C-alpha cells in the first residue's frame, strides 16, 4: 500500500451522446474499474515491483470504454485511488500514467486496514496518527459508512522530514456495489498553504480594518447612481462592524436627519454640502470630500469630520466615514487660546496695551515679503511722537509720565479703530493704517492733528505726527514708507518747538 493519504470522488456527471440521449454517471461507479480489469488481462504483481497497465481497451463494450476514459481523466487529479472489498479487506491501488494516459495497478493486498495501520505509524505526522487510526478503522468504516455515504479526512504526511498536507475522501457504493469502498488520495499541500497564506493576509487586513474602524462613528457605502446605501456602525467594545441600516436614498435621508442632528451653526453649510451634486463635483475635482461640522451627540454639539472617497476600481460607489474629533478639536482650541494669550503677552506693550516693537518688526517682515514677491500691499504708516514727555517726568515724576504716554496711546488708537497701533519707542508710536482706515486716512489724520492742536491749547497731551502711504513706484520696502512718515512727523514737531509756550 502506498504511504500517503486519501481523497474521494463523488460528483454526478452527465454525458450527452448523439441525438438527445443523456447518460448520468456517478463517481462511485469507478468501482466498475475493478470489473473492467477482470475483463482484460491483468498479470499478477511482478517481484520487481513493476506496474500493471489497463490494456486491450478495444475488448470492452462501447459504454465501458467511455466510462474507462472518464475514470482515467478524473483519476489524474489523485495520486492514488484505492478500491477496497469490505467483505474480505482485499484491495487494489490504481494510478494514472500521465505519459501514456493509462490507468495502471500500482499495488494489491489482502488486508487494506492492516496495511493502513502499519503505514500510518510510519509516514503520517505523529500529531495526526491517533485521529487517522481512530477514524479510519475497519469497524468505523464498515459500521458507520452506509450505502452511498462519504466522508473526508485531512492530515499531514511526512516526506523527507517535511510535513505535507493531504486529503482523503472515502465513499461506499450502492446496490450491487455496496461491498466496495473507494478511497481517493490527493496532495493538497500547495492548496492548503495558499489558503493559509491568504487567510493570514485576510486576518492582517481584518485587524487593520478593525483598528481603523475604532475612530469612526459610522461608515456608509453609497451608490452615487441611485442613492442606495449600507450603514456600518461601531457596535461593540472593540469596534466590530455590524450592518445597521439599508436605505434607498442616502442624500434624501441625510437631508431629513440634518435638522435634528446638526448644530444650528453648521446647519446651512451641511444642507448645501449633503447633496449628490456636491459630492460628485468634489469627487471629480479633487477625488475626496471633507466636511468639518458639529453633530449633536449625547445631548451636546460635538466636533466631527466627514470624509468621503470613491471605492477602489468602482467610481460609482463612495465610502463615507464620520469620525468624532471633538476631544482633539477642543484640545486644539484650548491650546490656541493659551498660545494666543502667550502671544498677546509677548506682542503687547505692558504699559499701554497696544502692540510692541517686536510685533511691529514681524508686521514689517510680512509686508516686505509681500513686496518682494511682486505683490502690492495697500497700507500707510502714521508715526507719532509724544511732545513734552521729559518735561512731565522731570516736573511731575515718572508715574505722571506713564499716564501721559497711556493717554497719548489711547487718543491715537481711538482715531484709527481698524488699524494696529505699535509703541516702537519710549514716546514714539506707529500706526499700520489699513482697511477702512486706509480709505479714510486723510480725514483721520487731519482729525488726529486737530486733537493735538486742541490739547495744546488746553495744556493736555500733545504729539507730533506724520503720514505716508506705500507707493510701489518709489518704495522698495516698509522702511522707505516709515522714513517719509518720520520726516513728516519731525516737520510737524518743529512747529511744536517753535511755540514753546504751548507746552503742557
* 342 band by pLDDT with thresholds 50, 70 and 90: low
Residue 187 to residue 398: CA distance in whole angstroms: 101
243's enclosing H/E stretch is strand 241-247
Out of 80-94, 238-252, 268-282, 296-310, give the one with best mean pLDDT: 268-282
Whether pLDDT at 38 is above 60: no
The pLDDT of residue 470 is: 96
DSSP 45: P
122-154 in b/e form (b: 16+ CB < 10 A) is ebbbeebbeebbeebebeebeeebeeeebbebe
**Residues ≥6 apart with Cβ < 8 Å to 215:** 323, 324
Residue 183 to residue 421: CA distance in whole angstroms: 97
* SS3 label, residue 425: coil
- Give the strand pairing for 91-97 and 102-109: antiparallel
Instruction: Judge contact between 82 and 6, C-beta under 8 A.
Output: yes
Spell out the long-range contacts of 309-316 with Cβ–Cβ below 8 A and sequence spacing 24 or more.
Answer: 309/283, 310/283, 311/221, 315/283, 316/223, 316/224, 316/225
* SS3 label, residue 266: helix
**What's the pLDDT tens digit per position in 384-438?**
999 988 888 889 998 998 999 999 999 999 999 999 999 999 899 999 999 999 9
Residue 113 to residue 134: CA distance in whole angstroms: 12
Whether pLDDT at 338 is above 90: no
At how many degrees (to 10) do helices 32-39 and 62-75 cross? 120
What is the mean pLDDT of the segment spanning 263-276?
A: 92
The pLDDT of residue 40 is: 34
Percent of the chain surpassing pLDDT 90: 33
Phi first, then psi, for residue 80 (nearest 5°) are -150, 150
The answer to which of 8-22, 112-126, 192-206, 292-306 has the lowest mean pLDDT is 8-22
Alpha-carbon dihedral 169, 170, 171, 173, rounded to 10 degrees: 140
The answer to which of 92-96, 336-340, 493-497 has the lowest mean pLDDT is 336-340
Residue 173 CB burial class (10 angstroms; 0-12, 13-18, ≥19): buried
**What's the pLDDT tens digit per position in 244-265?**
478 899 999 999 888 888 899 9
**What's the pLDDT tens digit per position in 174-212?**
777 777 888 888 888 888 888 888 888 877 776 766 666
**Length of the chain, please?**
504
Average pLDDT, the chain: 78
* SS3 label, residue 203: helix
**What's the pLDDT tens digit per position in 135-172?**
887 777 777 777 777 888 889 999 888 999 998 888 88
HEC string for 141-173:
HHHHCCCCCEEEEEEEEEECCEEEEEEEEEEEC
With cell 494514472, the residue in question is 96
What is the mean pLDDT of the segment spanning 273-277?
A: 93
pTM: predicted TM-score of the whole model, two decimal places: 0.38
Domains by residue range for the chain, with CATH: 13-190 (no CATH), 214-326 (3.30.450), 348-502 (3.30.70.270)
Distance of CA 237 to the CA centre of its chain: 20
The pLDDT of residue 104 is: 66
If one counts every other C-beta atom within 10 angstroms of the C-beta of residue 269, the result is 13
Closest among 78, 81, 89 to 111, alpha carbons compared: 89
* SS3 label, residue 194: helix
**What's the pLDDT tens digit per position in 220-229?**
899 999 999 9
Amino acid at each position: 500500500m502506498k504511504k500517503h493519504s486519501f481523497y474521494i470522488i463523488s460528483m454526478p456527471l452527465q454525458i450527452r451522446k448523439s441525438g438527445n440521449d443523456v447518460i448520468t454517471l456517478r463517481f462511485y461507479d469507478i468501482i466498475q474499474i475493478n470489473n473492467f480489469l477482470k475483463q482484460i488481462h491483468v498479470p499478477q504483481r511482478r517481484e520487481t515491483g513493476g506496474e500493471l497497465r489497463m490494456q486491450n481497451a478495444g475488448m470492452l463494450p462501447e459504454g465501458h470504454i467511455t466510462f474507462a476514459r472518464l475514470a482515467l481523466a478524473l483519476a489524474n487529479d489523485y495520486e492514488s485511488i484505492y478500491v477496497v472489498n469490505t467483505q474480505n479487506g482485499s484491495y487494489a491501488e490504481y494510478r494514472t500514467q500521465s505519459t501514456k494516459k493509462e490507468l495502471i495497478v500500482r499495488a494489491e493486498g489482502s488486508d487494506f486496514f492492516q496495511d493502513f495501520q502499519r503505514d500510518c505509524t510510519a509516514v503520517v505526522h505523529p500529531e495526526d496518527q491517533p485521529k487517522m487510526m481512530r477514524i479510519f478503522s475497519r469497524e468505523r468504516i464498515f459500521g458507520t459508512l452506509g450505502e452511498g455515504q462519504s466522508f473526508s479526512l485531512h492530515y499531514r504526511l511526512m516526506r523527507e522530514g517535511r510535513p505535507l498536507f493531504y486529503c482523503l475522501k472515502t465513499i461506499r457504493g450502492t446496490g450491487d456495489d455496496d461491498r466496495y469502498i473507494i478511497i481517493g488520495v490527493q496532495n493538497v499541500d500547495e492548496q492548503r498553504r495558499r489558503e493559509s497564506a491568504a487567510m493570514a493576509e485576510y486576518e492582517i487586513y481584518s485587524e487593520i480594518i478593525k483598528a481603523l474602524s475604532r475612530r469612526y462613528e459610522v461608515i456608509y457605502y453609497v451608490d452615487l447612481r441611485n442613492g442606495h446605501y449600507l450603514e456600518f456602525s461601531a457596535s461593540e467594545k472593540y469596534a466590530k462592524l455590524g450592518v445597521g441600516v439599508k436605505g434607498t436614498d442616502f442624500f434624501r435621508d441625510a437631508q431629513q436627519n440634518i435638522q435634528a442632528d446638526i448644530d444650528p451653526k453648521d446647519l446651512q453649510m451641511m444642507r448645501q454640502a449633503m447633496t449628490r451634486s456636491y459630492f460628485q463635483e468634489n469627487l471629480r475635482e479633487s477625488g475626496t470630500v471633507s466636511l468639518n461640522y458639529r453633530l449633536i451627540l449625547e445631548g451636546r454639539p460635538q466636533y466631527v469630520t466627514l470624509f468621503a472617497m470613491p471605492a477602489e476600481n468602482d467610481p460609482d460607489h463612495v465610502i463615507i466615514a464620520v469620525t468624532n474629533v471633538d476631544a482633539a478639536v477642543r484640545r486644539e482650541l484650548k491650546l490656541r487660546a493659551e498660545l494666543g494669550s502667550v502671544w498677546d503677552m509677548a506682542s503687547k506693550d505692558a504699559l499701554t496695551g497696544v502692540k510692541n516693537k517686536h510685533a511691529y518688526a514681524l508686521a514689517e517682515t510680512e509686508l516686505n515679503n509681500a513686496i518682494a514677491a511682486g505683490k502690492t500691499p495697500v497700507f500707510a504708516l502714521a508715526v507719532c511722537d509724544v511732545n513734552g514727555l521729559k518735561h512731565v517726568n522731570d516736573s511731575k515724576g515718572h508715574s505722571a509720565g506713564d499716564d501721559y504716554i497711556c493717554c497719548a496711546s489711547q487718543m491715537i488708537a481711538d482715531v484709527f479703530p481698524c488699524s494696529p497701533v505699535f509703541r516702537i519707542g519710549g514716546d514714539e508710536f506707529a500706526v499700520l493704517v489699513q482697511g477702512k482706515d486706509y480709505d479714510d486716512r486723510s480725514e483721520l489724520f487731519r482729525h488726529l492733528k486737530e486733537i493735538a492742536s486742541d490739547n495744546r491749547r488746553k495744556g493736555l497731551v500733545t504729539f507730533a505726527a506724520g503720514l505716508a502711504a506705500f507707493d510701489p513706484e518709489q518704495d522698495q520696502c516698509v522702511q522707505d514708507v516709515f522714513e517719509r512718515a518720520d520726516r513728516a512727523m519731525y516737520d510737524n514737531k518743529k512747529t511744536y518747538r517753535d511755540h514753546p509756550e504751548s507746552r503742557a
